[in-house]
Chain A
Amino acid sequence: AQSVSQHNHHVILSEAASLELGCNYSYGGTVNLFWYVQYPGQHLQLLLKYFSGDPLVKGIKGFEAEFIKSKFSFNLRKPSVQWSDTAEYFCAVSLYNNNDMRFGAGTRLTVKP
């Protein structure tokens, strides 16, 4: 069955530490990939997206993600996290030409000041 896996359920880091959140998917066709973030008490919002082209995608707030097709992965990275990055992060995948989007279970990030 098609699925999206986020292996880290809760990550705790100190400020200035580097971040990498894993995301793997099991769709077989051409995919569109997304990372969403939900800050405490706020709407779910788009962090970055990949449709085609350069597999290294830059997003808002210094985040980036790399699409590795051979590994079916789209990991999220940030070189140096801040306390304000504390949030829940969701990876999402949709098939090309299909509006049906599937989300991972989410990773809660806690950044200690």
Chain B
Amino acid sequence: SQTIHQWPATLVQPVGSPLSLECTVEGTSNPNLYWYRQAAGRGLQLLFYSVGIGQISSEVPQNLSASRPQDRQFILSSKKLLLSDSGFYLCAWSGSGRYVNEQFFGPGTRLTVL
């Protein structure tokens, strides 16, 4: 069966420090991968999605970037964190191909920028 992992689960970082959040998927190949930020009362905001290795689409301009170095690995990064980057970050995957499948979510990372 397919599983999705995110780490770390929680992270406290100072303003101006770099960030690297990792997401890996097991049990499937060539998934579509997504990064979301969940803010209270604002639902899930899609940040990035990827349909293949090295293919990244950005939904909103921001202080963050994403990379997909391997088929089942998706990384969210920042060179210098801002206070406004605090939030709950969710990674998700879906099946690739012609038809939309539902997205499956990881446990999330709670990021606090101080």
How many A-B pairs with Cβ below 8 Å? 53
Q: Closest CB of chain B to A43's CB: distance in Å?
A: 5
Segment at the interface with B among A14-22, A70-78, A91-99: A91-99
B90 an interface residue at 8 Å Cβ cutoff? Answer: yes
Interface residues on B, range: 20 to 34
B43 an interface residue at 8 Å Cβ cutoff? Answer: yes
Q: Find chain A residues with CB under 8 A from B105 CB.
A: 36, 43-45
Q: Find chain A residues with CB under 8 A from B49 CB.
A: 99-100
25 example contacts (A-B, Cβ-Cβ < 8 A) are as follows A4-B43, A32-B100, A34-B102, A36-B105, A43-B107, A44-B105, A45-B105, A46-B102, A51-B99, A92-B44, A94-B100, A97-B98, A97-B99, A99-B32, A99-B94, A101-B34, A101-B100, A101-B103, A102-B46, A103-B43, A103-B44, A103-B45, A105-B41, A106-B41, A106-B44
Residues of A within 8 A of B (CB): 4, 6, 9, 32, 34, 36, 43-46, 49, 51, 90, 92, 94, 96-106
